[in-house]
Chain A
Amino acid sequence: DVVMTQTPPSLSVAIGQSVSISCKSSQSLVYSDGKTYLHWLLQSPGRSPKRLIYQVSNLGSGVPDRFSGTGSQKDFTLKISRVEAEDLGVYYCAQTTHFPYTFGAGTKLELK
């Protein structure tokens, strides 16, 4: 199984600050079609997960461009520029390149 190692486990930030979350996979996430199926999700308190970014760097529908994703192969990063209150919650990376699909353990973003 592909192990997704997400760091840090938690972040305490001030509104307006920028933060980055790392996600490393135990094997390459490049699929046979050449695409990389690495995604970022946000689960706000009491809510279902919402996909922020798909295939490394593509913004989901309605997702503000304060969010950006970069990376390749086994090393990926989510950056949030100018954190807003609505950004608080748990962020997960997820891979759907290989079965079983796997998720990172999550990064909890809290207000300082």
Chain B
Amino acid sequence: EVQLVESGGGLVQPGRSLKLSCLASGFTFSNYGMNWIRQAPGKGLEWVASISSSSSYIYYADTVKGRFTISRDNAKNTLYLQMTSLRSEDTALYYCARGGHWGQGVMVTVSS
């Protein structure tokens, strides 16, 4: 069974950094591209970033480009999202997703 478990969220002040992790299991992680998608409270879905299976291709939404870094460690079956210079508008539930599979999400709140 495919499982994606996010962690690393929390309350952080504007301008600070946070790193999210997504531990994958139930499939050969190194064979699949992965994605981060977020959902602000009461709002719709917003794609954040994607990374190919071998990290050769990486894409970002314009809203996070230059501030967020997606990466992966295939030996650890883990996807990461390093978030810097956080803003209040980054407050959201962050999901790790692969195809039709989504994690439960991890909440990031940016507030002073």
Q: Which A residues have a C-beta under 8 Å from some C-beta of B?
A: 41, 48-51, 54, 60-61, 90, 92, 94, 99-106
A48–B47 touching, CB < 8 Å: no
**Segment among B7-15, B17-25, B69-77, B101-109 that sits at the interface with chain A:** B101-109
Q: Which B residues have a C-beta under 8 Å from some C-beta of A?
A: 35, 44-47, 50, 59, 61-62, 95, 99-105
- Shortest Cβ-Cβ A-B pairs, 6 listed: A51-B100, A101-B47, A48-B102, A103-B45, A99-B59, A106-B44
How far is A105 from B59 in the complex, measured between Cα atoms in Å?
A: 22
How far is A105 from B43 in the complex, measured between Cα atoms in Å?
A: 8
A sample of 9 more A-B contacts (CB under 8 A), given A99-B50, A103-B44, is: A50-B100, A50-B102, A51-B101, A51-B102, A54-B99, A94-B45, A101-B50, A103-B45, A103-B47
Partner of A61, one of B45, B50, B59, B100: B100
Nearest CB of B to A93, in Å: 10
How far is A81 from B35 in the complex, measured between Cα atoms in Å?
A: 31
Give the nearest-CB partner of A39 in chain B: B100
Residues from chain B with a CB closer than 8 A to the CB of A100 are 47, 59, 61-62
Q: A99-B50, A101-B35 are in contact. Are A92 and B45 (CB under 8 A)?
A: yes
How far is A50 from B59 in the complex, measured between Cα atoms in Å?
A: 23
A54–B47 touching, CB < 8 Å: no
How far is A54 from B98 in the complex, measured between Cα atoms in Å?
A: 13
B95–A48 touching, CB < 8 Å: yes
Give the nearest-CB partner of A104 in chain B: B44
B44–A105 touching, CB < 8 Å: yes
How far is A106 from B42 in the complex, measured between Cα atoms in Å?
A: 12
